[in-house]
């Protein structure tokens, strides 16, 4: 993509734009420029048709200033933009979609959808994302919702960080809004949104759906506990106490006093009054009591990777505000080792500095990038482990070829220290003396 007079055009149009600019410089006159573009548009040049259509659409020249050649003429704008778009000119497709959607052409949702569909098929990057976003919304906003048509567009947006529309599609399948009710389809989408994208409303749908039972899913206390555990990570002030109750009473899993105590301690730390009252009644439950249940020798027991199953790097979870402001931090978590060697039921014990999100980021890393080595699972299964994860900026290891480094270090005792290194924007490039 390139810019010309404030207008984004495809690289394939560049030769035509350069020709026009050359003519303009030679003639020293806007009149000559406009006349030549008009002639070339009539001869079938798609880039010239697009520029002519934009001029009529806005009543402005190619740089966006009011044109002394033409007033706004929507009929001519529609004519020339359609001719350009008919030849596959993506910029014209975008202009038509937005003009039918937002104006100044007469608003027509069906025509806007048609052209957004072309943009979604033909364009790349920002135009593609914008088209999918509007398609998701426009199709779901029809008087009669059409979740089946909207689904691929909303799914695309969920994968690009905007899951709200896809959640709306799931709700439509759940309730039969615009489509035959399909709870299994809704459940699949909720699982994708919750498991892949960590979308809290979808986690809540699953947690409460499995807890209560109903049209969405049969009651399943184990599944409910699974999703309440995930919710306790993203909304600890609300859901730590729910997990504590379930682990204490054995709802969804066998009663586990140590884990219940851990969650009551965490809930109390998060300010939950009920948890504080429970701890007063159970004075033996303290941080030291939990510590006595923690395994003492973890040397060489953990596997650490940089890339998860979806190809996402661990440093992608570096808290945004901290990264942008070049703030380093750390978090201490304790986790239960599952029978498969997965770190489960992880809780943030401490984080520094407070309020920068290092605790939540570390929980994401523990789940996806750290696990117990197969030859250590037997001795560690069911045990608690304590891990310190340090988030560092601007570190370098000689011989590295990339700008992002991630490595680990073990203390050889109870605490394993893991490090996530990230190059901030102000320090990109190879440090002095680093070998490529």
HEC letters along 96-124? HHHHHHHCCCCCCHHHHHHHHHHHHHHCC
Sign of the alpha-carbon dihedral angle for 144, 149, 153, 159: positive
**What's the pLDDT score for residue 10?**
46
Average pLDDT on 111-133 reads: 91
Q: What is the pLDDT of residues 278-293, one digit of tens each?
A: 999 999 999 898 888 8
d(CA 301, CA 364): 20
Query: What's the pTM value of the predicted model, to 2 decimals?
Result: 0.76
Considering only residues 49 and 310, tell me which one the structure prediction assigns the higher pLDDT: 49
Judge whether residue 433 has pLDDT over 70.
no
Domain locations along the chain: 2-123, 222-293, 302-427
Q: What element of type H or E holds 249?
A: helix 236-249
Q: What is the mean pLDDT of the chain?
A: 82
318 confidence band (pLDDT: 50, 70, 90): confident
In terms of Cα–Cα distance, which of 422, 347, 355, 420 is closest to 389? 420
Considering only residues 399 and 361, tell me which one the structure prediction assigns the higher pLDDT: 361
35 confidence band (pLDDT: 50, 70, 90): confident
Question: How far lies 141's CA from each of 75, 102, 212, 396, in Å?
Answer: 28, 15, 30, 50
Average pLDDT on 387-399 reads: 66
**What's the pLDDT score for residue 217?**
95
What six digits make up the tokens of 13?
């149009």
CATH of span 2-123 = 1.25.40.10
Domain 302-427 in CATH 2.60.40? The answer is no
Judge whether residue 1 has pLDDT over 70.
no
Contact 138, 101 (CB under 8 A): yes
- State the residue for tokens 């409303």: 201
What six digits make up the tokens of 372?
């117990």
**Given the DSSP bridges, would you call strands 384-393 and 7-9 parallel, antiparallel or unpaired?**
unpaired
Considering only residues 276 and 66, tell me which one the structure prediction assigns the higher pLDDT: 276
Judge whether residue 94 has pLDDT over 60.
yes
Judge whether residue 184 has pLDDT over 50.
yes
**What's the pLDDT score for residue 420?**
61
**What's the pLDDT score for residue 422?**
57
What six digits make up the tokens of 289?
């009591």
């Amino acid at each position: 993509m390139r810019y010309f007079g404030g207008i984004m055009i495809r690289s394939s149009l560049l030769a035509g734009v350069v020709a026009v600019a050359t003519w303009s410089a030679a003639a020293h006159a806007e009149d000559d420029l406009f006349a030549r573009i008009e002639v070339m548009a009539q001869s079938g040049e798609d880039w010239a048709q697009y520029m002519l259509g934009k001029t009529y659409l806005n009543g402005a020249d190619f740089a966006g200033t009011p044109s002394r050649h033409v007033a706004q003429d929507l009929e001519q704008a529609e004519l020339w933009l359609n001719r350009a778009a008919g030849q596959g000119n993506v910029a014209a497709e975008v202009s038509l979609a937005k003009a039918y959607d937002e104006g100044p052409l007469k608003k027509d949702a069906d025509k806007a959808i048609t052209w957004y569909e072309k943009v979604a098929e033909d364009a790349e990057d920002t135009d593609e994302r914008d088209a999918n976003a509007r398609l998701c919304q426009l199709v779901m906003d029809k008087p009669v919702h059409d979740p089946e048509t909207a689904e691929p567009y909303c799914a695309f947006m969920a994968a690009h960080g905007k899951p709200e529309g896809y959640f709306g599609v799931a709700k439509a399948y759940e309730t039969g809004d615009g489509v035959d009710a399909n709870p299994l389809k809704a459940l699949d989408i909720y699982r994708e949104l919750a498991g892949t994208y960590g979308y809290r409303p979808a986690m809540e749908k699953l947690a409460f759906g499995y807890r209560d039972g109903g049209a969405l899913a049969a009651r399943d206390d184990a599944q409910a506990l699974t999703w309440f555990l995930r919710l306790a990570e993203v909304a600890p002030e609300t859901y730590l106490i729910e997990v504590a109750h379930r682990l204490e009473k054995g709802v969804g899993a066998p009663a586990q006093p140590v884990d219940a105590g851990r969650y009551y301690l965490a809930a109390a730390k998060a300010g939950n009054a009920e948890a504080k009252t429970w701890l007063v009644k159970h004075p033996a439950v303290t941080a030291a009591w939990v510590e006595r249940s923690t395994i003492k020798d973890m040397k060489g027991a953990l596997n650490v990777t940089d890339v998860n199953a979806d190809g996402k790097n661990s440093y992608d979870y570096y808290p945004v505000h901290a990264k942008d402001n070049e703030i380093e931090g750390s978090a201490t978590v304790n986790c239960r080792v599952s029978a498969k060697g997965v770190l489960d039921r992880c809780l943030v014990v401490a984080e520094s500095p407070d309020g920068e999100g290092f605790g939540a980021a570390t929980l994401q890393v523990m789940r996806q990038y750290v696990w117990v080595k197969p030859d250590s699972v037997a001795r560690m299964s069911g045990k608690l482990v304590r891990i310190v994860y340090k988030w560092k900026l601007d570190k370098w290891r000689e011989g590295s070829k990339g700008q992002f480094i991630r490595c680990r270090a073990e203390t050889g005792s109870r605490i394993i220290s893991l490090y996530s290194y990230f190059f901030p924007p102000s320090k990109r490039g190879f440090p002095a003396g680093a070998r490529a």
